[in-house]
Amino acid sequence: MKYLPLNPEIFSQNRSRFISHMLPSSIAIFVSNDEFPSNGDALHCFKQNSDLFWLTGIEQEDTMLVLFPDCPDPKYREVLVLVRPNALKEKWDGKRLRANEATDISGIKTIVWVDSIDALLQGWIHLADHIYLDSNENDRKANLVPVREYRFIEEMKQRYPLHSYQRAAKIMKALRAIKTKQEIAVVQEAINITDKTFRRLLGFIKPGVMEYEIEAEIYHSFLSQRATGPAYHSIIASGDNARTLHYVSNNAECKDGDLLLMDFGAEYGGYNADLTRTIPVNGKFGRRQKTVYNACLQLHNYAKSILKPGISIVDYTEKVGEEATQQFLKIGLLRKSDVKNEDPENRAYRKYLYHGISHHLGIDVHDLGTRTEPVKAGMLFTIEPGIYIEEEQMGVRIENNVWLTRNGSIDLMKNIPITVEEIESLMKKGIGKR
């Protein structure tokens, strides 16, 4: 890992939170993700199962976690299972964790090698009545590959058909949505890296630069600050490309007079930042560009003011839609007749704002959390309204990350330049460096 060691209390606390929701006489088993083949003999870069990482902080492949709080032997109430270090394999693929190193990361004292876990696991399961197994219950899931956690579920049910099986994911969804102060400290580090990177870009961008050159600057800045890398594929969309929400080509020239939408964030310590800013390529917003940008900023600030514990995402989205309608009327995108005659199922403002306003953020960029119940203190959200105008070949989006508290919210990106004046001033200062 490139990042500095995290406080193992993060993961100890997370395990305690999960254990507190387990039934008596139960055991929970979490497994790592697969290593996925690419082509030939190559593998994709390994990415740990998010639930397993949340509980342990371990990023190594072929890892397991066993939680058995009622085990008669206290030694085996928390067990971390790892690949046994192999000198020959390490010559090819690099060093694997030793037991003491894994304990330092996770806070788990009992380490068992994966080649000896079967016999131990069988004895523990015979003492338990309930077995918690994990599955990917992210509402946005689209992967149909039979991944390891699903294969493990089938294997366990065949070996132990008379046990009561429970969904670990149901507990994890509720717990992971509520971020602890220790988790937010890691998120803030990812945001600070992203902030420094954005400021670097304001001194780099000028007419004629290619989108991929900007992406390269982002990678360089992230890695030089100990980030694992980008939290997701960076969106560097100039001109009309900005109307494509998940634009990934990043191969166009940034032209004088165009706006540039940049949606990027660093991953640090397993946690993610998610920033969007829209800036003028030449350092100066045009009159119309400034009008649209300020309307989007007003919409952003309004959304931030109402996203508080107790509101539902449905009501929140509806209220932001009302404000978007008013802003779009002011800047001439909508007429009163458009609003009067709108389809309630496809409101008039949706022509220019055709995505959601917020999503949960954390270990996953689209993190686990409620989409139907009222939001709660401790949840971490993006706030990212946009305005996309086909007739003007223009797209604007502004995104910050906000942590909800009992009394309201904390904008974790409050120090990142956001106003027209801040952006223009910093770009002007950067002219001499270009």
Would you call 405 helix, strand, or coil by DSSP? strand
**Structure tokens that stand for 90 in this block:** 């390490």
CA nearest to 33, candidates 57, 52, 14: 52
Q: Which parts of 38-160 are beta strand (E)?
A: 64-67, 78-82, 110-113, 130-133
Taking the C-alpha atoms of residue 24 and residue 26, their distance in angstroms, rounded to an integer, is: 6
Residue 272 exposure: Cα atoms within 13 Å on the Cβ side:
24
Taking the C-alpha atoms of residue 68 and residue 62, their distance in angstroms, rounded to an integer, is: 20
Strands 164-167 and 130-133: parallel
Per-residue model confidence (pLDDT) at position 431: 57
Q: What is the signed CA dihedral for 60, 126, 169, 102, rounded to 10 degrees?
A: -20
**Tens-level pLDDT at each residue, the chain (434 residues):** 899 999 999 999 999 999 999 999 999 999 999 998 899 988 889 999 999 999 999 999 999 999 999 999 999 999 999 999 988 888 888 999 999 999 999 999 999 999 999 999 999 999 999 999 999 887 777 777 889 999 999 999 999 999 999 999 999 999 999 999 999 999 999 999 999 999 999 999 999 999 999 999 999 999 999 999 999 999 999 999 999 999 999 999 999 999 999 999 999 999 999 999 999 999 999 999 999 999 999 999 999 999 999 999 999 999 999 999 999 999 999 999 999 999 999 999 999 999 999 999 999 999 999 888 999 999 999 999 999 999 999 999 999 999 999 989 999 999 999 999 999 999 998 754 54
DSSP string, 300-318: HHHHHHH--TT--HHHHHH
Q: Please enumerate in sequence order all residues whose Cβ is within 8 A of that of 33, keeping only pairs 6 or more positions apart, or say none.
A: 46, 47, 48, 49, 52, 61, 147, 148
Would you call 153 helix, strand, or coil by DSSP? helix
Q: Please enumerate in sequence order all residues whose Cβ is within 8 A of that of 243, keeping only pairs 6 or more positions apart, or say none.
A: 388, 389, 390, 393, 394, 395
Per-residue model confidence (pLDDT) at position 432: 45
Per-residue model confidence (pLDDT) at position 433: 53
Domains and CATH numbers, the chain: 9-175 (3.40.350.10), 181-433 (3.90.230.10)
